[in-house]
Amino acid sequence: MKLDEIRMKHFTEKNGKTRFRKLFRHMKLLLRYTDEHHVLIDEYDKRAKALDCTVEEVKFPPGAWAELEFKW
């Protein structure tokens, strides 16, 4: 779930040095002691309550990945 969030943020950035430089900012979502991690967890809790499901069931829709242009 968190990895999907990071991938989505990373692949929606403009390709090149800018995207590479922002990678650390996106990876901070995985570090439990960062503010970014706590904000993400709170956001997942809100999404789950709004959808009346568990946090583990909150995912990106399958079409969201197909709409991305992967620039390698």
Q: Where are the domains of the chain?
A: 2-60
| Res. 63: pLDDT tops 80 | no
CA distance 53 to 13: 30
CA distance 36 to 20: 18
Predicted confidence (pLDDT) per residue in 34-59, tens digit: 898 898 889 889 988 998 988 888 87
Instruction: Give the pLDDT score at 57.
Output: 83
| Res. 60: pLDDT tops 70 | yes
- In this prediction the pTM is 0.64
DSSP annotation string for 50-65: HHTS-GGG----HHHH
| Res. 29: pLDDT tops 70 | yes
Q: Which residue has the higher pLDDT, 45 or 16?
A: 45
